[in-house]
Structure 1
Amino acid sequence: MSSIPKNEQNQKQVQMLNELSKRKVVEHNSLITSIAKMDKTPLKMFELAVSCINTEEPPKDHTVYLSKEELFAFFKVSDNDKHSRFKQAVENMQKQAFFKIKEKKEQGFEFENIVPIPYVKWTDYHDEVTIRFSPEIMPYLINLKKNFTQHALSDLAELNSKYSIILYRWLSMNYNQYEHYSVKGGRREEQVEAYRNPSISIRELREMTDTINDYKRFTHFETRVLKEPLEEINEHTSFNVSYDKIKKGRSIDSIVFHITKKPVARNDFYKLEEEDPIYLQDKANKEQAEELLAGKALKSKYTKLLLDNMLLSPYEMTDTSLMAGLQAHVYPLYDELKALRGLNGVKDHLSYVRAKQEAYSKRNIAKYLKKAIEQYLPTVKRQDL
């Protein structure tokens, strides 16, 4: 039987990566701060499996299904030895991988050692891979009413060290809280800023990265656990992160991280124009017109869909001009698509946009979304003729 041409394999891998880029990983914060007793491959495989969980409809028997193609695309494996490497990775995960979880209770701390994925099944004649989570890990993946973190699977795909993944998850946990309390309130200003500039003791950082007995010299520890991972995070994710070393006496006691999101291109695209109906009603008070539109946008179902697809962040929702621009220029086009294809048609479009979106640092949100829907609507209308 002839082998699949390499360019066709590459094309399939790109398509699969586009599909994977729509996925989100949602985990309880206690799992993120736990000690991951595993190397990078089992940890990434666990994150990939978690991205398959629908928390609103938890999987029956704690079981999810992946395809081998998804796995190979996620790990960017295309050589002839990929099946044996996959088999070895699964075996290592089941033999070695577990989380040491420490959770604060009223009486004190509770400790759990959990093997997250005790059962994996695959065949050499079928593409499907069955992954079953342990019952003990499921509460940290589905009971997410509070204290949970969401991040993009596509960010994790590009990280190639265990420490990069662990740090990225922890930084996401803190920055998500910064965005949440910036919008919702409920914390003092200095508390909110502390989420954007989180501090961790060296002892806690060593515990979380499982390096208590490794890299005894701080210079080695700093290179392997801080400098190299942050270079990866800054290059491949939506974060820019720096850090300061805090001394206590003559030794380094803790690390303070400084997290920012890569800047979104900003211009006057989403400012209200004179032809906007609501602006025409009140030219003398442009701010009031923007506030009215922004308020309407905050209540819109489309805003929720943008949040669900990580095309808009809670922090960006505080930008009155941006939200007014979305309501004035983008949401009416979504109404057109909804009339043609229903709300599911809008959902499908935004999933596609999420998969295809340009680098976060280069896009203007409203302009990008408007361009995407303007290009798509004519195709839908032609199909309906």
Structure 2
Amino acid sequence: MSSITEKAKNKKQVLTLNELSKRKVVEHNSLITSIAKMDKTPLKMFELAVSCINTEEPPKDNTVYLSKRDLFAFFKVSDNDKHSRFKEAVEKMQKTAYFQIKEVKEKGYEMTSIVPIPTVKWNSYNDEVLIRFNQDIMPYLIDLKNNFTQHALSDMAELNSKYSIILYRWLSMNYNQYEHYSVKGGRRADQVESYRNPSITVKELRLMTDTVNEYKIMNDFTRWILEKPLEEINVHTSFNVTYEKVKKGRSIDSIVFHITKKPVARNDFYKLEEQDPIYLQDKANKEQAEELLAGKALKSKYTKLLLDNMLLSPYEMTDTSLMAGLQAHVYPLYDELKALRGLNGVKDHLSYVRAKQEAYSKRNIAKYLKKAIEQYLPTVKRQDL
């Protein structure tokens, strides 16, 4: 029987820390709103493992592989006792950690309790860790045609409280819907706004955070379930979140959150030349021009091809500047290639780019794709000569 290392290399699923820092976690909303019966370490380990799943090509045997070295780095563990602590965390995750998922059915609701990762395998003589998911959890991780949420693993890495992680996942779920319906339509304006100002009853929040029997005094609940987690979320993630309490009678009935996204610094790819009239106009006109370009990009057949080849994610499609950059600087080059080789030529090029994909910053994906097609087009033109 081959070793874990050989299996991992054969499947090409061992991921480095640099790769992990760019990955997204994609989960069904039912899992996000479930009760996570576990502390922060098993929950973060689960999120880390989920980020390694390619939903287009689900892992065989529900198995992914991680490096011990990068696993410890992700959790910022560097002391001499790290292997013992890792072993304890794995044992705790498998013995006491589970999700309690509630789903509405025709005749009522259905409760399912699932231990998400029943098998973790490693040894003393190489660096790989095998993680095998429970088959019952897989539909919530790969069957994602509707009602799913995507968030950044790098945001999750810095959160040090179980409640911060749970709240961040729920806030991401709502804000994802705000971004989706803002672009796609299909909801009234007030409904769209409600996604970035989501409300949850205190009873529901207690259930989701598994604190029905804890922090009975509202001041304690506010401090440990709202204030402390939001401090972490505001410092370490892409969100800025505030909240307000809504009373019903004399007691606090629900919480309304207000979510905004932190601005992302533009890179050089989006700094157009000074003579470009769009960038000489005022900010409102520039934003309008970007939105028009992004709208065209969303309808483009090339966007679908990028999604098919996992060179673009639904999460990145909500980035107006990124989509505008693709429409302005990349898709015209794909039009040139299409004129020379047809749409299949573009498909073949993107398939090759995916196979040779370098490590890149998520903010530079448009620049990366532009460079790839600029290098390829001259070769095609020379061949035609």
| TM bracket (short chain) | 0.7 to 0.9
Cα distance in 2 for residues equivalent to 1:309 and 1:294: 13
Cα distance in 2 for residues equivalent to 1:374 and 1:99: 39
**Contact 1:293–1:324 at 8 Å: present in 2 too?**
yes
Residue of structure 1 equivalent to 2:361: 353
Cα distance in 2 for residues equivalent to 1:190 and 1:45: 37
**Contact 1:16–1:73 at 8 Å: present in 2 too?**
no
**Contact 2:68–2:128 at 8 Å: present in 1 too?**
yes
Deviates more, 1:62-71 or 1:235-244: 62-71
Aligned-residue offset at 1:122: 1.1
Residue of structure 2 equivalent to 1:51: 51
Cα distance in 2 for residues equivalent to 1:247 and 1:293: 44
Task: Name the CA shift for 1:307/1:114 in 2 (closer, same or farther; >3 Å).
Answer: same
Residue of structure 2 equivalent to 1:175: 175
Cα distance in 2 for residues equivalent to 1:335 and 1:213: 61
Task: Name the CA shift for 1:221/1:115 in 2 (closer, same or farther; >3 Å).
Answer: same
Amino acid of the structure 2 residue aligned with 1:52: C
Deviates more, 1:44-53 or 1:299-308: 299-308
Structure 2 counterpart SS, 1:76: coil
Q: Describe how 1:1-385 pairs up with structure 2 within 5 A.
A: 16-265=16-265, 294=294, 296-298=296-298, 299=300, 300-301=302-303, 304=307, 307-308=312-313, 312-314=316-318, 316-317=319-320, 323-324=323-324, 326-329=326-329, 342-343=349-350, 344-345=352-353, 351-354=359-362
How many pairs align? 341
Cα distance in 1 for residues equivalent to 2:138 and 2:369: 42
Amino acid of the structure 2 residue aligned with 1:352: Y
Identity over aligned pairs, percent: 71
Aligned-residue offset at 1:87: 0.4
**Contact 1:270–1:324 at 8 Å: present in 2 too?**
no
Cα distance in 2 for residues equivalent to 1:214 and 1:65: 36
Residues 236-287 of structure 1, C-alpha deviations (whole Å, 9 max, x = no match): 11001000000011111100000111124579965786568x99xxxxx999
Cα distance in 2 for residues equivalent to 1:175 and 1:286: 24
Structure 1 counterpart SS, 2:225: helix
Task: Name the CA shift for 1:151/1:347 in 2 (closer, same or farther; >3 Å).
Answer: farther
Cα distance in 2 for residues equivalent to 1:296 and 1:96: 49
Aligned-residue offset at 1:210: 0.4
Amino acid of the structure 2 residue aligned with 1:87: K
Residue of structure 2 equivalent to 1:363: none
**Contact 2:33–2:208 at 8 Å: present in 1 too?**
yes
Task: Name the CA shift for 1:295/1:347 in 2 (closer, same or farther; >3 Å).
Answer: farther
Task: Name the CA shift for 1:240/1:127 in 2 (closer, same or farther; >3 Å).
Answer: same
**Contact 1:44–1:156 at 8 Å: present in 2 too?**
yes
Residues 28-81 of structure 1, C-alpha deviations (whole Å, 9 max, x = no match): 100000000000000001111111111111122222211211211110111111
Aligned-residue offset at 1:138: 1.1
Amino acid of the structure 2 residue aligned with 1:327: Q
Task: Name the CA shift for 1:323/1:146 in 2 (closer, same or farther; >3 Å).
Answer: closer
Q: Please, what TM-score do these two structures have when normalized by structure 1?
A: 0.77
Amino acid of the structure 1 residue aligned with 2:76: K
Cα distance in 2 for residues equivalent to 1:93 and 1:349: 34
Cα distance in 2 for residues equivalent to 1:287 and 1:129: 46
Cα distance in 2 for residues equivalent to 1:53 and 1:106: 31
Task: Name the CA shift for 1:287/1:89 in 2 (closer, same or farther; >3 Å).
Answer: closer
Amino acid of the structure 1 residue aligned with 2:361: V
Amino acid of the structure 2 residue aligned with 1:233: I
Structure 2 counterpart SS, 1:308: coil
Q: Please, what TM-score do these two structures have when normalized by structure 2?
A: 0.77
Residue of structure 2 equivalent to 1:11: none
Residues 74-95 of structure 1, C-alpha deviations (whole Å, 9 max, x = no match): 1011111111110010001011
Aligned-residue offset at 1:104: 0.7
Aligned-residue offset at 1:331: 5.8
- The CA RMSD over aligned residues, in Å, is 3.7
Amino acid of the structure 2 residue aligned with 1:181: Y
Residue of structure 2 equivalent to 1:364: none
Task: Name the CA shift for 1:225/1:91 in 2 (closer, same or farther; >3 Å).
Answer: same
Which runs of 5 or more residues in structure 1 are unaligned? Answer: 1-14, 280-284, 358-367
